Chain A
Amino acid sequence: MQVNTIDHIAHNNRLRHINPKLKVLFALSMLLIILFSKSIVVPLTVALIMIILTVFVARVPLRIYLPLLSFPIGFGILTVILMGIIYTGGKKLLSIDILNFNISIYSYGVNLGLLVFSRMLGGVTSTLFLALTTPMTELFYILREWRIPSALLDIAMMMYRYIFILLDEMIRITNAQHTRLGYKDLKTTYKSLGTLAAILFIRAWERGERSFITMSCRGYNGDLKLLNKIESPGVKYILLIVVVDIILLILSYLTADFKVIT
């Protein structure tokens, strides 16, 4: 299960015990820099930094990391081709005639596509860095310190727990259906899937009602209380991140006019 693997890695990697606030600060500042960059240089640099950090420092296994990364790369190549066709302007790079349709690729579109591609790559590697090195529970504590409304956060925390319970339940029901000749053709597949979804809904609902009863037994009145706290990171580490950010910002300013195809 893919959910289990990312969650599992987040609890077992070499960067697990680094202060989560630092990791969040680092990943978010990188995301913002990528967002405002105007050429492909800075996003690709960030992507490189993030890949090195995730693969060599945090030691995330490649067999988990590469499939996650292949999705944005495939989508990015499609985007470059599509944007080259849609957005006209600049030099005509390539022109093909298919059944009286003239399809041409223009340099303006390709440049735009490459920029979006590099931004996607940088963004996805930054998010993956955060997702693969920081357990969800630590993120909840940080979100709480950011004064996210407690209704939203409490629901999110309980939801995180129930996702894994429901996934287990789903796998059990699917196995049971397979042994009873479910999913054997398209019609039974729909019938099995519908039954699975309905039973899951009912089970989920019953679980919700039951956990309300258990929570009431322990003095729940509409508010969840949490006691843990996350320490603030050392100033020198924050300074280090700020220095990296400033270097990248300067790089981004210097390379603003850089284009792959002039």
Chain B
Amino acid sequence: MHVMEGYLPPMWCAIWYILSGIVVGYGIIKINQLLKEMPEVKPLLAVAGAYMFVLSSLKLPSVTGSCSHPCGNGLSAVLFGVPITAVLATIVLLFQALLLAHGGLTTLGANIFSMGVMGPLAGVIVWKLLRGKINSTWAVMLAAIAADWMTYVTTSIQLTLAFPGEDPVKTLMIFLSIFAVTQVPLAIAEGLLTAVLWDKIKELRPDLLLKLGVIDESEVPHYTQAVETGGAE
């Protein structure tokens, strides 16, 4: 869920714009550095961003019969890291505001901060902690769950900060129970989808994941080791 247009007071709009601006700025510097070495990152990042947008238009069934859409920010964070994900999320959120009327221009900063910075950060931390210890599919699944859930926790905190009321802790609890608790099954649904997706990529095109340096060669023996088919040499 995005914070809607006009929801935040001007001060918080500005604060979230500045905070996410710093991260996005760092991401742009990083992309420019990458561009000097390999100019192919521009079209590749563009299709990756388009993929994120299309992924978020998939309808995901979850336990309660309700539907949600995946954010894709966990997957992107694992593949490209937090700063570049923040840049991609900025563009995706801008398109969502202008092509789907989701989110908004004044609240863009707040949405970037929750979807493009905090969520991916949680995903990357989980990924880094689990990497190499368990199968990468499980690690990606948990990272996607963490990223999705953290996005909603950040949104609740942003809403509380905007309108704290008399007792900020109580208000935060109400917003958390509305967004963070109801989001748990949806986060798990996104985790499952990401796991199936990851497994499929690992099976079909492991070279992409190897090139990005996110999995180890030992994980995809069917690709790295020659299979003895017993045919003629």
Query: Judging by beta carbons under 8 Å apart, are A220 and B10 in contact?
Result: no
Q: Is there contact, CB below 8 Å, between B174 and A170?
A: no
Residues of B within 8 A of A123 (CB): 4-6, 104-106
Determine whether A194 belongs to the interface, using a CB cutoff of 8 Å to chain B.
yes
**Pick the contact of A156 from B5, B32, B94, B166 — CB < 8 Å?**
B94
**Are B201 and A152 in contact (CB-based, < 8 A)?**
no
Enumerate chain B residues within 8 angstroms of A194, measured Cβ to Cβ.
Answer: 192-193, 195-197, 199-200
Are the C-beta atoms of A87 and B165 separated by less than 8 Å?
yes
* Smallest Cβ-Cβ distance to B25: which chain A residue: A149
Would you call A254 an interface residue if the criterion is a C-beta within 8 Å of the partner chain's C-beta atoms?
no
Q: A159 contacts B50, CB within 8 Å?
A: yes
List the A side residues contacting B36 at CB < 8 Å: 222
Taking a contact as CB atoms under 8 Å apart, the answer to whether A122 and B6 are in contact is yes
Q: Is A162 an interface residue (CB 8 A)?
A: yes
A183 nearest in chain B by CB position: B61
CB within 8 Å of A: which B25-50 residues: 28, 31-32, 35-36, 39-40, 42-50
Contact with B along A107-151 (1 / 0, CB 8 A): 000001000100111111011101100001001000000000101
Which residues from chain A contact B97 at a C-beta distance below 8 Å?
127, 131
Range of interface residues on chain A?
35 or more
Contact of B193 among A3, A193, A202 (CB under 8 A): A193
Interface of chain B, main secondary structure: helix
Q: Which of A159, A161, A199 contacts B200 (CB 8 A)?
A: A199
Which residues of B have CB within 8 Å of A212? 39-40, 42-44
Chain A 75-105 residues near chain B, CB threshold 8 A: 75, 83, 86-89
Spot the interface stretch: A31-39, A225-233, A234-242.
A31-39
Question: Which of A88, A120, A156, A189 lies at the interface centre, i.e. has the most chain B CB atoms within 10 A of its CB?
Answer: A156
Number of A-B contacts (CB under 8 A): 220
The size bracket of the interface on B is: 35 or more
- Kindly state whether residue B90 has any CB partner on chain A within 8 Å: yes
Q: Which residue of A lies closest to B63 (CB)?
A: A186
| Contact A195 B44, beta carbon cutoff 8 Å | no
A196 to B28, CA, bound (A): 30
Residues of A within 8 A of B32 (CB): 149, 151
Contact B54 A209 (CB under 8 A): no
> Is A244 located at the chain interface by the 8 A CB criterion?
no
Q: When the two chains form their complex, are residues A200 and B51 in contact, meaning their CB atoms are under 8 A apart?
A: yes
* A86–B104 touching, CB < 8 Å: no
**Residue B53 CB within 8 A of the other chain:** yes
| Complex Cα gap A139–B91 (Å) | 13
User: Nearest Cβ in chain B — how far from A218, in angstroms?
Assistant: 12
Decide if B47 touches A207 in the complex (CB within 8 Å): yes
Residues from 1 to 45 in A contacting B, C-beta threshold 8 Å = 2-3, 6-7, 28, 31, 34-36, 43
The answer to whether the Cβ of B57 comes within 8 Å of any Cβ in the partner chain is yes
Residue on B with the closest CB to A151? B31
Q: Measuring CB to CB, which residues of chain B are less than 8 angstroms from any residue of chain A?
A: 4-7, 9-10, 13, 24, 28, 31-32, 35-36, 39-40, 42-51, 53-55, 57-58, 60-61, 87-88, 90-92, 94-95, 97-101, 104-106, 163, 165-166, 171, 174, 192-193, 195-201, 204-205, 208
Q: What are 30 A-B contacts with C-beta separation under 8 Å?
A: A35-B9, A35-B10, A71-B101, A87-B166, A88-B165, A116-B163, A123-B4, A124-B6, A127-B101, A131-B101, A149-B28, A151-B31, A152-B28, A152-B87, A152-B90, A154-B46, A155-B49, A161-B50, A163-B53, A163-B95, A166-B50, A167-B57, A170-B58, A197-B193, A205-B47, A205-B208, A209-B40, A209-B43, A211-B43, A215-B43
Lowest 6 A-B CB distances belong to which pairs? A194-B196, A123-B6, A198-B200, A123-B5, A158-B46, A162-B50
Give residues in A with beta carbon < 8 Å to B: 2-3, 6-7, 28, 31, 34-36, 43, 68, 71-72, 75, 83, 86-89, 112, 116, 119-124, 126-128, 130-131, 136, 139, 149, 151-152, 154-163, 165-167, 170, 186, 189-191, 193-202, 204-205, 207-209, 211-212, 215-216, 220-222, 224
